[in-house]
Each structure stands twice: as C-alpha cells, then as structure tokens.
Chains A and B, each alone.
Chain A
Amino acid sequence: MLGLEYNTAVVLAGTAALGLAAGSTGSLALLRRRALLADALSHATLPGICIAFMVTGSRSFAALLTGALITGILGVLVVVMISRRGKIREDAAIGIVLGTFFGGGIALSGIIQRRGADAAQAGLDSFLLGQTAGMLLSDAITIGVIALITVALVVLLGKEWKLICFDPDFAGVEGWPVRALDLLLMLLITVTVVIALPAVGVVLTAAILIIPATAARLWVDRLGPMLILASIFGVLSGSVGTVISAGTAGLPAGPVIVLSASAIFVVSLLFSPRRGIIARARSRVAQRRRQERRRLLGSIYEGIEESHVPMIGEAELARRRSWGPGRMRKHLEKASRRGLIVWGSTGIALTDSGKTLAEKIVRDERIWQQYLLSQAQIDRDLIDLDAAEIGQILPKAMVEELEAVLRAKGRLPGAAAIDTETPGGAS
C-alpha cells in the first residue's frame, strides 16, 4: 500500500468499508429473499439523483445521495404497494418499478444534458456505472463512516434479524416487532445501496449485495460465519476492483468491482468443500466406486455359490458384470490390493476377509429383494437392487424374519447350506 497516494488510500479504505457493509446487509437481504428487490431499489435511485441535481444545481455528494435515498425508498414502497394488492406478483412489481423509475432517471438526465450542464452531466454519468477515480476525500470518508454504522447495526441486531429471516411467524408469536424489524432491514439495505452508488453505479449496485453473500453461502451453513465471510468477500472485491480501475484509464469501477466479486463467486462455486462443483463430483465418483466394488464382490460370491467351485474364471465374472476388460482389471487389482481376493489356479477366489464382506453384501441384497417381494408387494421385474446397509433401512425384527425365509430357501449367505459346500477362503 506504500505505493498508493494518500488520496487513493482513503478511497480504497472507503470502498473496503463499503464492501464490508454490502457483504453483511447483502447476506440478510439474501436470506430474507430480497435479492432482486435491491436491484429495483438501486435503479429507482437514479431519478432522485437527477432531481437533487436539478434542485440544488450542484454535484454535492450529500444532496445527490439524499435524493437517491428518497426515490429509492419510494421505489420500494411502490413495489410493496403494488404487490400487496395481489393481482400483480412481486416479480412483476419489481420489473415495473425498475423500468419506470430508471427510465424516468434517464429522461431527467437527458433534460439536464440539454440544458447545457455538460460538466455536471459528466458527474451524473459516473453514477450509472460507478467511478472511484474522481471521488473526493470527503466523499470516501462519508461512505466509510456510514458503512461502518451499518455494520455496527447488523452486529447489534443480528440475532433479531436472523429470527425474522428464518422464521418470521415464530418471531411474531414470540412478540418481536416483525414489521418494524423488517422495515429497519429494508432501510439498512436502502442505505447500503445508496452509499454503494458512487463507486459501483446504479446499474450494478445490487450485485455487490448479492454476489458476496451468495458466494459465502456456498461455504457455510450458519448465519454468523456467513456474515463474516460475505463481509470479507465484499471488502476483497471492493478494494481489488478499486485498485484495478484506478490503475486503468477509462475503466469504470462498478463493473470491475462486480467482476472481482464474480471471480470470488466462481472460485467458491468450484472449490467450496461441501457444496462446490469439484467436491460434489468427487463424492459422486467415490460413491460410484464403492458401489462397483460391492457389485464385484457380490458377483464373485454368487458365481462361486452357483458353480460350487471355490474359484471363478475371469470370463465368467465378465459375463456377470457388463464391464469392459480394462475396468474389470482395475477393480480386480484394487480388490486384490485390499486383500479381498486372490488369483488362484483356475480363476479368482475370495480371501477370508473378502468372503466375510461379500457374504454381508449378498445377504443385504437378498434381504432387500425378499423384502420388496414379500412385504412391499413389488413386482419381481421392478426390483432394482441398490441396497446399502440393510440394517439402516429395515427394522431389526423385519431383517430377522426375512433372514429366516432366505435360510429356509438356502439362499442366506454364510448360512449352513452354502458354508458346507464352499471351503472357507482360498489358498
């Protein structure tokens, strides 16, 4: 940071504080399902900015943000009013407010432009896509201070908002002022959007609330950690975006900040340990492997059981499992490394531990089949075996009952009928 000018450093601190506020209020907005209301809200601020400019005639930061705040709140109220009547759904109401208010803002800025206030118009234009380069020191400080107040509020009322995010009905029954808390949250979101406008711009401000929070949600399942993580993501994207856009001429800050957040999101999407794409793909593969291993042992056991010879040829095994030779080889080698099978003179035999495991697998399969046939009245053709641990699916008494049936048929693995004919283990 030593290379930065003092001015840039302050602006950076301002946008970092902004990211902090956006991450934490964004998380609450996301959980309260207000993500796209924030979009309507940010678009609805444009006419306010223009009107404030026309009234005061200057690009005074405080005046413009006040104007933004007023029409932003108005926009939210209109959404609520329209959707409460019932005929128009909330998504349509959001679209109506977004389009109409923003269109109004564009028309107003056109009027300002035609009046010849070109220099000021340039200032207004920076509100569309955001700009941190021209930000005054005092502006950055204002943004930072408001952002910190917002964060303090989130910390202070976090528990109450958590309640109305997850179970508003319960909160109401418990006597919490749900409507007041909800309104306060809406106000907080509005304030965050408004202070984000100069840096991120009207068009993209919603993103800085939505993206860090959504990314954080991929990593954690609890509100507290989510708030912290989303804030960190917010700070990161705010400061990285600011640095990049300040270093590159003609690059508006808003899109850069948003893309920084998006990059964090994509990384989260890929690498989050439980919900990430890679982790999920890996667990899917692992599960398939496990299943195939079970099938392999099961097939060997059944082959031995049918032929009454303690070994099974690889050709016979391949007939039972429709795997290609490579895949078969891989599974066999893995099983042999685990000490479950050995290669004998005429084929593959189960070791002691292999036999125990295979017996359990086949036993579970057959109990499940028997259950589906006799208890659940499922047609024989429909039975597609995918039993995991039978004990986890069926009650103990039921398992015992089914075992008795299987034993009577001589189809219970490990029971006397087979045991006598199959020599334990293999040499």
Chain B
Amino acid sequence: MGLFDHASLPILIVAVLAACNCALVGSYLVLRRMSLLGDAISHGVLPGLVIGFMLAGNRDLLPMLLGALAAALGTALATDFLKRSMRIDGDAAMGVVFTTLFALGVILIERYAAQVDLDPSCVLYGQVEYAAIDRWSGAIFGWRPPRSAVTLAIVFAIDLGVIALLWKEFLLTSFDAPLADSLGLRSTLMHLLLMGMTALTTVASFEAVGSILVVAMLVVPGAIGTLLSDRLLGVILAAQGAAILSAVFGLWSAEALDTSVSGMMAVSAGGVFAIAFVFAPKHGWLPHRLRRLALSLRIVEEDILGVLYRKHEKTHGTGDVEPESGAPPWHPAWLQILARLRLRLGGAVESFSQEPALTERGMIRGRRLVRRHRLWEIYLSDRLAIPASHLHDPAHRVEHFLDEEFTRRLEEKLDRPERDPHGREIPAPPEGKAARQKKRPPRE
C-alpha cells in the first residue's frame, strides 16, 4: 500500500494540488483576518454549482464553475450589503448568508440532482478517491493525469501568476490599506480580486476534496505560516510546506485506517497546526514558556548572588551602613532549588548548601548586580525625586534588566557617585580599571 504506487499517485497529486492551492490564497485570508470568508464562500457556492450543473445537464466543469463563481460573488456582496447598508454585525451577516445559500443548495440537490451522481455527502467531503478513475482526455508523455488535477494546476498557475504580478500591491493592501489607498493602490479592488481568487480556488478544490477540506486548507496552513514566520514570503512558503505535509500524511493515514481522505487531511492539518502551535521557534507555546523560564531562572540566580554578595559585604565590607535586605521571598521553592543548582554547576558558588560561599565568578556577578541596584536608586532619587523609602522595590526589579554598557553610562551621567541614597558604597565595576580603581582596589 505504497503512497506512490499506481493507484495512489493520482489521488496524491490531486490532494497536494488542492491543499497547496487553498493554502496559497488562505495565507492572505488569514493575514487579512478574513479567514471565515473562506468558510462562507465554500458553503455559499453550493447553489451556484448545482444550478450550473442543472443547466448544463452534466458534470462539465465550466458551467458549474461559472455558477459557483456567481454564487461566491453573491455571498461576498450580500454579506457586504447586510454589513454596510443594514448595519448587521459582520459575523452574523456572514452566518445568515452562507447558511441560507448552503441550505438552498442542499435542497436543490435533493430535489433535482440526486438522480445524477451529485449528493450532499460528495459536496461535504469530495471524491478525491475517484481521481484515479476520472482521467483527463489528453495525455502528458503518455500519462493521463486526473481531470481535477488539470483544473487545479491551471487554477494554481493563475493564483501564482496574480500573486507574483501583484506582490507589492497585495503586501501593502494586506498590512496597511489606508497607506495603500493614499499611494494610489486600490485596496478595494485588491480585496475583490482576492475574493475572486478565493472563489475560483474554492470551486476548483471543491469537487476534488469537498467543502470541509477547503475550509480546513484555507485557514489551517495559513495559520501555521503565521506561527512560523513574520514575513509574507515566509508565511506563504511555510503554509505550502504545511499543506503538502497534511496532504501526504492525510492520504497515508486514510489508507492505513481505510477512511475518508479529505477527513484525514483535515485532521493531519490540525495535527501539524498543533505541533507548530507548541513548538514554533518564535511564537510557539513551548519556546515561549522556556524563554520565560530562562528569564525567571536568571532573576532568581541573580537575586541569590545579590544576597550572598551583600552578606559578604557585611562581614568583609568597608561600608558603615547595613547592606539592604536580600532576596525577596516570593520566588517559588522549585525555582530557587533549580537556580542554586545552576549556580553550583556554573561555578558561581562553592557548594550546594543553603548559604554557600561565592567563588570569584559569583563574586563578580553579585557585585555587578548590587552595583546596578544602587546606581538605579541614585538615579531615581536624584532625577525623579523619589523618597528614600520607595527606592528599593523599583531598583530591585530593574536591576535585572540593565546591561553593562547602560550601567557604565548611567554611572557617568550621575557623575560617578560613591554612595547610594542610603549611604551604601557603590561597588566598583569588576573590570574597573579607570579612575575608580585607584581610589578603591578590588576587595577580593
């Protein structure tokens, strides 16, 4: 039961083409927050398809396509009319229009078209399985591709051509329509063009994979794309990748489970989305969590080092004022244990006890922290006239987010102070070689 054997290859081609087609247009729909338009159009085209079919009397694609295009345009325009002229909430307007049209389509099928091979279930989940039988009349190098594959390839070429030709225009109208308008680009026209492409793509994919898969493939790959990239081209390419992956895996799993291909393709797309949602490098859930964990760990580590450094200052110090109190109690215990472990492994402390001695390296980090803390207190007190009793808490937060360069410049701005508002000494920078070093040699 190989994917690439004789029977499966046509199905695979149709599935991949349909998925990629929808994903291409869908990327723009998702970016423009029009995801549900795909849903609406894919339902709304039904009566048009059926009427086209009834008028032509056979399953010729062209009349069905024209009927469906008209219905798609009707869906979009009617929704727009209800929204703009009748002031009906956008979602509700869309819901009213497409459910009505879909209901109409189902009844038309049941009443007038059921004898011929068009039935509601085919509309819902398509007939990609028949791709192997339903071949194109022409041949490419002696091989006759599935009929729907030819249609899909043509539509894909059209979509690609339009997007390549109007890349800049689509980019600008998608992200900043007012700017595009002011530059003389017609954002309304681009909007209509996109709707036309959506309709065309929907109709072409519809026959092969059914309305449900069209909805899934219009929205899911585009959403995956936005999770993986922040650039338009990246979104589109990632969406294409996701679409191909969903098609291949969907077909494979459908054959393994002996069930509907389009259903499994939709499920696979959902699975790929779930993976991207969790693991996407920048916007994924897990990397986000990990980044936050790393930040929390660093803060707890620095707080511990701060406490140890201040203790050291108290016993060995030259200062005549008590150092400020140590780490706040609000870090969870497990984080503290983890932080102490990391400090020990990183060689910042000498043992894994409750109050270990600082190594050279730990001493440097602790001193840097305390230095930042006290400089910030001076800044708050000098420049913002904050009373001494309110200096500690803000400084305690900000101390973790000042880098060395900033701290150095802060010190210069404050005219290289020697003591903080509480009279505590400002520790010298660990590598401090300049003027301060002469006054106060390193304490170790």
Contacts and interface: CB of A to CB of B under 8 A. Distances in A.
- Asked whether A and B interact, the reply is yes
A104 interface: yes
Interface stretch (B92-100, B325-333, B371-379, B395-403): B92-100
B270 A106 contact: no
Binding site of A, secondary structure by majority: helix, strand, loop or mixed? helix
Contact of A33 (B91, B94, B213): B91
Contacts of A254: 103, 106
Contact of B219 (A92, A251, A252): A92
Contact of B92 (A85, A110, A210, A262): A210
Contacts of A108: 259, 263
Interface in A31-89: 33, 35-36, 39, 82, 85, 87-89
B174 to A, nearest CB: 14
B92 A105 contact: no
A105 B95 contact: no
Contacts of B149: none
A250 interface: yes
Q: Which of B222, B254, B263 has the most CB of A within 10 A?
A: B263
Interface stretch (B28-36, B51-59, B155-163, B426-434): B28-36
Interface string B91-127: 1111110011011101100110010000011001100
Given A95-B38, A95-B39, A96-B270, A103 B104 contact: no
Nearest to B101: A262
A36 B222 contact: no
A316 interface: no
B289 to A, nearest CB: 11
Contacts of B99: 204, 206-207, 210-211, 258, 262
A409 B269 CA distance: 78
B227 interface: yes
B100 A207 contact: yes
A203 B124 contact: yes
A203 B102 contact: yes
A107 B254 contact: yes
A128 B120 CA distance: 9
B285 interface: yes
Contacts of A206: 95, 99
A55 B270 CA distance: 23
B218 A95 contact: yes
Contact of A103 (B34, B86, B91, B263): B263
Contact of B259 (A100, A110, A256, A265): A110
Contacts, number: 200
A49 to B, nearest CB: 14
A251 B108 CA distance: 10
B96 A214 contact: yes
Interface string B202-216: 000000000011011
Nearest to B42: A99
Binding site of B, secondary structure by majority: helix, strand, loop or mixed? helix
Nearest to A259: B103
A255 interface: yes
Contacts of B102: 203-204, 255
Contacts of A94: 35-36
B273 A100 contact: yes
Given A36-B94, A88-B223, A250 B273 contact: no
B25 to A, nearest CB: 13
B130 to A, nearest CB: 15
Given A33-B91, A95-B36, A251-B111, A204 B263 contact: no
Given A92-B219, A255-B103, A103 B95 contact: no
A204 B103 contact: yes
Interface in A249-274: 250-252, 254-256, 258-259, 262, 265, 269
B106 A100 contact: no
B213 A107 contact: no
A85 B100 CA distance: 33
Contact of A210 (B38, B96, B125, B257): B96
Q: Which of B33, B34, B99, B254 has the most CB of A within 10 A?
A: B99
Given A33-B89, A87-B226, A99 B266 contact: yes
Interface residues of B, number: 61
A129 interface: yes
A104 B89 CA distance: 30
B267 interface: yes
Chain A interface residue number, banded? 35 or more
Interface string B261-280: 01111110110010001000
B87 interface: yes
A36 B120 contact: no
A211 B218 CA distance: 25
Contacts of A111: 257-259
B223 A275 contact: no
Nearest to B270: A100
A255 B222 contact: no
B286 to A, nearest CB: 12
A100 B269 contact: yes
Contacts of B110: 250-252, 255
B168 to A, nearest CB: 24
A204 to B, nearest CB: 6
B65 interface: no
A85 B277 CA distance: 10
B223 A96 contact: yes
B220 interface: yes
A207 B263 contact: no
A277 B100 CA distance: 19
Contacts of B277: 82, 85, 88
B75 to A, nearest CB: 13
A319 interface: no
A333 interface: no
Nearest to B280: A87
Contacts of B106: 129, 252, 254-255
Given A100-B269, A128-B124, A258-B99, A114 B258 contact: yes
A218 interface: yes
Interface in B160-217: 212-213, 215-217
Q: Which of A107, A125, A256 has the most CB of B within 10 A?
A: A107
Given A89-B35, A104-B266, A255 B104 contact: yes
Nearest to B125: A106
A368 interface: no
B260 interface: yes
A106 B214 CA distance: 14
A214 B82 CA distance: 11
Nearest to B253: A107
Contact of B260 (A39, A110, A251): A110
A214 B124 contact: no
Contacts of B107: 251, 255-256, 259
Contacts of A277: 86
B92 A214 contact: yes
Nearest to B38: A95
Given A89-B33, A104-B270, A275-B86, A98 B215 contact: yes
B88 interface: yes
Nearest to B99: A207
A127 interface: no
Contact of B215 (A87, A95, A204): A95
Interface in A105-131: 105-111, 114, 125, 128-129
25 contacts: A88-B277, A89-B35, A92-B219, A95-B218, A99-B216, A99-B217, A99-B220, A99-B270, A100-B269, A106-B263, A106-B266, A107-B259, A111-B257, A125-B121, A128-B121, A129-B120, A203-B102, A204-B99, A206-B99, A251-B110, A251-B111, A255-B106, A262-B96, A275-B86, A277-B86
Interface of B: 30, 33-36, 38-39, 82, 86-89, 91-96, 99-100, 102-104, 106-107, 110-111, 114, 120-121, 124-125, 212-213, 215-220, 222-223, 226-227, 254, 257-260, 262-267, 269-270, 273, 277, 283, 285
> 3 tightest CB-CB pairs across the interface, nearest first?
A103-B266, A99-B216, A100-B270
